[in-house]
Chain A
Amino acid sequence: MQSFELTAPTTVDDALAGAGTFLAGGTTLVDLMKLDVLTPRHVQDINAVPLRGIDTTDGLRLGALERMSDVARHPGVYPMISRALLQSASQQLRNMASMGGNLLQRTRCTYFRDVSMPCNRRVPGSGCPARSGAGRMHAVLGTSEACVATHPSDVAVALVALDAQVSLADAAGTRTVPLLDFYRLPGDTPHVENDLRPGELITEIVVPRLDWAANSTYVKVRDRQSYEFALCSAAVALDVRDARVVDARVAVGGVATVPWRLTAVEEALRGAPVTEEAFQEAAGVAAEGATPLSANGFKVPLLRRTVVRALCELTQDEPSGSRG
């Protein structure tokens, strides 16, 4: 690890007035500093900054420094958020990792994490060995010639499905950005992963109220049953009345370069009967535009099946349900 200077501001203003990389839970930053992937000269430990709080009175407001474990076990959190969190990492890591840091965690692409390899995301213009190399874990949606790395967050998938916004602050002021717009497709500039400006800090995550999201879930498919990143995951919420889908939210993870909302599937679900056949038909458009590599073609059918399974799991207890 490269030497660095450490400061510990205790207010948002002090943090924004300071310089350097923000350290919250450290589960990504310290890991990548040990690997020399990240080599900040100045680190600000922001854990004493008062950015806590879980407010469920109207939708959901989460302080950026709330820990994943605390949010997951809060009774007022939408099920798809709680389940996405509880299927992430391990209990030790969930006790450490902050919500804001979770949204900013870096890809698990092995080439990104290995400084002896080229990687356009880490060193712009150096190349992408994943395209012809070990690409089994990589993305099939939202990719570019420059980068095929997946976004690793689970909870970001649920948050994108719920139209969440992030509140951002820097020395010049504050702004709010929809999480879906916050993430950037790699394109020609995969090293620019999101809309965050230098020195800007995520202060809060805001989820608009959506009462029927009480009927939601998160399904994660992975190489082992626990403590593993997704091959594919699906966050789904359904508004069901008289055995028909009135409205739906669907987003997927593990298959795309950013958390991936499936508005085409949502549209296909509206008005559909609550049957597996109808779910399969709607999920038929889930992988539209997919561009698999030689090693990850399995993710295209897996994506459709994961969406169907999530919809079936969500509705199997109430075949003629009237929740809404």
Chain B
Amino acid sequence: MIIRFPVYGLTSQHPPMPHHRLGGHAARKRIPVDISLEVNGRTENLDVEPGVTLLDALRERLDVTGPKKGCDRGQCGACTVHVGGRPVLSCLTLVATVREPVTTVDGLATGDALHPVQQAFVDQDALQCGFCTSGQIMSAVAAVEQDVDDVREFMSGNLCRCSAYPNIVAAIEQVRRADAVV
């Protein structure tokens, strides 16, 4: 059984807001579209309304709950996933526009073996409450893959209200050192 916790803010699947909040627009007809997308190596088929974000499709329709809904407006980075191998914000991505494979934090580990970046976050205690961590890890994986010059600058799109930033940087540096040894 799937237990769905309420999220703050309306998802696109809620009923339309009352007319007076929308400047008097008449209610519009819903026009769902059929889509197919690859998530963590699995092909998924859905019919969705065009306004459904990748984040809501992952969490509410596919039960892929690693990506978190923080601000839901592209400011916090908690929803970061990879599309076509590049970090993007799933809250500002309409799922019907996704044409490349999606990887979330749920797809990083191999069985019980954590991805090196996940292990480094554990080793370096790179979190407190953990809400931002899945997004942090998806950006951190890209920071390692791209061997970025300035880790702090690269990670600036992922906010951590517990302010675990020094440990997050340490986790990324741990993986980079290990890669350098190999």
Contact = CB atoms under 8 A, between A and B. Distances in A.
Partners in one complex: yes
Interface of B: 12, 16-17, 21-23, 25, 28-31, 33, 49-51, 53, 72-74, 77, 80, 86-89, 92-94, 96-97, 99, 139, 142, 152-154, 156-158
A99 to B, nearest CB: 16
A31 B93 contact: no
A89 B29 CA distance: 35
A5 interface: yes
Interface residues of A, number: 34
Given A3-B30, A27-B92, A90 B51 contact: no
Contacts of A5: 31, 50
Which of A3, A48, A227 counts the most B-chain CB atoms under 10 A from its CB?
A3
Interface string A1-17: 11111101000000000
A227 B166 CA distance: 18
Nearest to B33: A6
B150 to A, nearest CB: 9
A96 B51 contact: no
Given A90-B156, A92-B88, A226-B152, A34 B72 contact: yes
A92 B94 contact: no
Closest 5 CB pairs of A and B: A90-B157, A6-B50, A226-B156, A3-B28, A227-B156
Contacts of B80: 92
A174 interface: no
Given A3-B16, A3-B30, A115-B23, 5 more contacts: A2-B22, A27-B92, A39-B22, A47-B99, A91-B142
B90 to A, nearest CB: 9
A285 interface: no
A95 B154 CA distance: 12
12 contacts: A3-B28, A3-B31, A4-B51, A6-B31, A27-B89, A30-B53, A48-B99, A92-B77, A92-B87, A93-B157, A226-B152, A226-B156
A226 B23 CA distance: 36
A26 interface: yes
A4 B51 CA distance: 7
A8 B99 CA distance: 11
Given A4-B28, A36-B22, A227-B157, A47 B92 contact: no
Interface in A46-103: 47-48, 69, 89-93, 95-96
